Amino acid sequence: MNTPVRLWLPGGVHFLDLDGSDTSYASTPDHAALDITGDLDLRWEGEASWYSPGAQMLLGKWGDSGNRSYHMRIQDGSLYISGITSGGESYFVSRPLPALPERAALRVTLDADTGAGSWAVAHYWAPTIAGPWTQIHTTFTAAGTITTHVSTAPLLIAPAQPTATVPRRVVEGKVYAAEVRSGIGGTLVAAPVFTAQPLGTAGFTDSAGRVWSYSGAASIADRQEIFVGEIANWPQRWVPSGQAVWAPVQAAGILRRLNQGQRPLDSTLRRRIPSANPIAYWPFEEDTLASRAYSPIAGVTPAAVTGVEWAAVDTLPSSRALPRLTAAATLSAVVPDAADGQWQVECVYNADDKAPPSSGPRAEILSVSTTGTVRRWVISMRAGSAHVAGFNAAGTDVVNQGVSLVDDPFHGWYRLRFYVQDLGGGQMEWVIGWANVNGSTLQLAKNITASAGHVTAVTANWGPLTEGWSVGHLSVMPAAAGTIYDGSDNAYAGETAWVRMRRLAGEEGVPMARIPGDLPVERVGPQRVAKLVELFQAAASADGGLLLEDRRRPGLVYRDRSSMYTQDPALTLVYGQPGLAPPLEPDDEADIYRNDRTVVRDGGSEARAVLETGKLSVQAPPAGIGLYDDSVTLSLADDVQAEPIAYWRLYHGTYDGARYPAVTVKLHRAPHLIPAVLRMREGDIIRLKSLPGHVSYGDIDLLVTGWTETLLPRTWTRTFTCEPGGPWDLANINVVREGFEDGVYEVTITNGGNLPWTRTSAQAHSGTNSLRSGAIGNNQTSDAAVSVPAGATSFSFWYRTSSENSGPGFEGDRLLVLVDGVQVLRAQGTVGWTKFTVDVTGKSVVLFRYAKDNSASAGEDAVYIDDLRFIVGAYQPTKALTDGSELAAGIDADDLTLSVAVTAGPRWTTDANEMPILIDVGGEHMSVTAISGTSSPQTFTIGARSVNGVTKAHSSGTPVTLARRPPASL
């Protein structure tokens, strides 16, 4: 039953395969080079569930207690470094991980002595272990210095510490490489590269001389996963002769099992309180025919409860329905024996705005019997005040304390908490407190000469003064000052959708990974009583992301909504070339549209978004398509979330673009597409190019929602189910600029050569400053190495030279620009400010070098750069549109100059740094390389016509707009 199954292809990149078990790892023996006591640099590259609940160790010298030095791990979505000092003290520093790709490198550096009386830790990530490294948040600093303990533990990838408070397990995933350096960026003392290791080998020696071996199931693999799941059963089939016996099987992902036979999860209070190991606990969540209150704690007898209406009040989101008290309500609950010295009694209640009059008797809420000096505690309340009474064994009141109620604990749901603890020396502290489930608190503490003892019973004679109240989730805890109710009492309302899924996954033992986006995840409402998968899906629906099955292990993956914004295509298919298979048929039926959409907040208000005008509006044809409405209920934390979500859904429901519900790829005809197809996940973008003119002018983007796959001995096809990708193309900031107007640079620049480049106001392309080469001598160089931001595709800059030109027999003094060591530009002599653009896709460093020959100089003997501009991703930067523009004069099909009148709003930019701009003129896309004029009409210089394949003349008054007009994101 539920046999694990994996479908995969060989031939991928080699990696160290770790299954997450504590006995599976790669190791190298302890060596003096690994006993680093000062500055430390740890690096690791691989694939892991970056944001899963729990702790996953990456690498370290971390053995049993007393034999530990340092390690790096990921835990609950954060990157940690932990270590032990020479004095035996432990330390750790963590930073939340940013949005990481599936494969990434992580790095942590320890500066053991900064020279300023402190130590410091910095965290980084990069696409590969070769960099470029991007720092995660800020550097941590603390007073003092650190000397790391020298242990004899081997260096493991990865160690384990299952006895930690949060068990630290070996990472489950793929490891490509790792490094340990003595010193930050210092000497390599361990450098395993698993991508270079052959299959089936037992070990190897790395470039630093460390000898590595594998333990347990750890090994080198080249697996490329297609599917990971389970086979539910193996039904036997046979022919009567018995000569053929077989078992037809069907595999499914983990969602099949999670959806089978699961009862709804208990309420959040019912789930949370037992985790604190209470002495006794009674939820009071019985149904209408109950006669007593059951306890889920072993050895605790049911509580006798009379005079209540069971399951009558269901307004507390963190609980099933609780009883309503009548005028004759009573409680008697026996508490098992426990240790003396401290205890806590807590419950939730709702007085339903029925406060006993301030001038009359108080209503008894709880009476607690104990073995201590105070044998019986009585807590009572009335409007404006409460009272705590304590009676000794003789019945004498030894505590008689009034409490002023500055809050209103008679309105809404409150927690009442009362705890007692011995302080030593014959002194005892008692504390009473009220907490509104939405946050406000009131507490009073007193010390008396007494002993706490332990609780033997909790009783109450509620009577007429509490008629209409509701009470539940009564617990007796063995320790004072507990906070186990916190958060769970409001059903975790207000946590983000991802935090809810991660918390539930951790509680239920379901592996859960995440594909994060750059924007915050939506906050969700209270966690209702529902099945686990329903709770996962409710959180996913609130955010608008995708709940998926993990293709690498039996588990789930959540893909944030914003991770699908403005993506580069994961797969590009060219019409007419091998791969894209017929039929490619659009779906343009009216019933796929929704032009009137309502979002209801579960338990709250609602919002509605309607498209009033336009060809897809609610107006009757031909002005619109008529009314196509729907409504959805979402678990949201606040009513204000509903309206923007409604308009987001309306935008998707009325997107006027091509819809291709299915796209088939024949991989046996296009094997070059296999790597890209194997990397794809639901939510990725497919781009269709070179479609016939009768289908589309320009590319079409489709968002993948799923696929079916057929693998046969000679054929392999995958059919993607899709929705329009256009609605996911949104306005974004994907430009990194640096104009050297201040000393804080937006890009990382590392100086080299004989002298550094410096900021100067002597020359500037724009603004008042630029970057100038160093004042070097003959046969010297001045270098400025600019790190390419992750994901950058294009780099442009302006340069100016004033130097010795070359001549017969001599080089002269020149500006050289190299991308990853390959020269892309050489300039010298007198050159005014000139723009240069280069493709930097997949590159790491752009090097600017001023190099002088062996004699002479000319001009200023310097070169300058300014207005550096990286574009990240495949999309051109989003630009704001004027409120209205049109051709001031007609043009022919080959004209390259336009006169454009601005009819409303601001003028078009004339900044050369913003060029080119792709515009739409009557359906034809044109690339604008320059704009002049500060008043209307402005003159547009066209670098290319018919960018989208449309060629035609245009008359005066034809609208002029941006070709790409993405809206703002939700």
DSSP string, 721-788: EEEESGGG------EEEE--SSSS-SS-EEEEESS--EEESS--SSSS-EEE-----TT-EEEEEEEP
What's the rounded Cα separation, in Å, for the pair 14 and 763? 51
CB 110 within 8 A of CB 83: yes
Q: Is 85 helix (H, G, I), strand (E, B) or coil?
A: strand
What's the rounded Cα separation, in Å, for the pair 63 and 151? 8
Q: In what order do the strands lie in the sheet with 512-515?
A: 512-515, 556-559, 546-549
Q: Is the pLDDT of residue 959 over 70?
A: yes
Report the pLDDT value the prediction gives residue 812, as an integer from 0 to 100.
95
When the pLDDT of each residue in the chain is averaged and rounded to a whole number, the result is: 93
The dihedral over CA atoms of 542, 545, 551, 556, expressed in degrees to the nearest 10, equals: -20
In the block, residue with structure tokens 């979500």: 645
Task: State how far Cα 533 lies from the chain centre.
Answer: 20
What digits encode the pLDDT tens for the residues 182-233? 999 999 999 999 999 999 999 999 999 999 999 999 999 999 989 988 888 8
CB 48 within 8 A of CB 57: no
Report the amino acid identity of residue 233.
N
The residues near 751 (Cβ < 8 Å, ≥ 6 apart) are 757, 782, 783, 784, 785
Q: Please give the C-alpha separations between residue 138 and each of 93, 141, 749, 900, 960, in angstroms, as whole numbers.
A: 11, 9, 18, 48, 45
CB 281 within 8 A of CB 299: no
Q: In what order do the strands lie in the sheet with 224-231?
A: 3-9, 224-231, 251-252
pLDDT band at 876 (very low <50, low <70, confident <90, very high): low
CB 910 within 8 A of CB 932: yes
pLDDT band at 101 (very low <50, low <70, confident <90, very high): confident
What digits encode the pLDDT tens for the residues 843-874? 989 999 999 999 899 999 999 999 999 988 76
What digits encode the pLDDT tens for the residues 793-848? 889 999 999 999 999 989 999 999 999 999 999 999 999 999 999 999 889 899 99
Report the pLDDT value the prediction gives residue 584, as an integer from 0 to 100.
86
- Tokens for 512, please give them: 């859960």
Mean of pLDDT values over 425-439: 90
- Helix (H) and strand (E) counts for the chain? 6, 66
E strands in 338-412? 342-350, 363-370, 376-382, 385-391, 397-404
What's the rounded Cα separation, in Å, for the pair 500 and 542? 11
Q: Is the pLDDT of residue 26 over 70?
A: yes
What are the residues facing 918 on neighbouring strands?
Answer: 927
Q: What percent of the chain stands above pLDDT 70?
A: 99
The total number of residues shown for the chain amounts to 970
What's the rounded Cα separation, in Å, for the pair 81 and 246? 53
What are the residues facing 794 on neighbouring strands?
Answer: 839, 871
CB 699 within 8 A of CB 688: yes
Q: Is 371 helix (H, G, I), strand (E, B) or coil?
A: coil
Report the pLDDT value the prediction gives residue 642, as an integer from 0 to 100.
96
What's the rounded Cα separation, in Å, for the pair 274 and 276? 5
Q: Is the pLDDT of residue 439 over 70?
A: no
* β-strand pairing of 219-221 with 15-19: antiparallel
Q: Is 216 helix (H, G, I), strand (E, B) or coil?
A: coil
- Tokens for 715, please give them: 């054929």
What's the rounded Cα separation, in Å, for the pair 730 and 927? 20
Q: Is 214 helix (H, G, I), strand (E, B) or coil?
A: strand
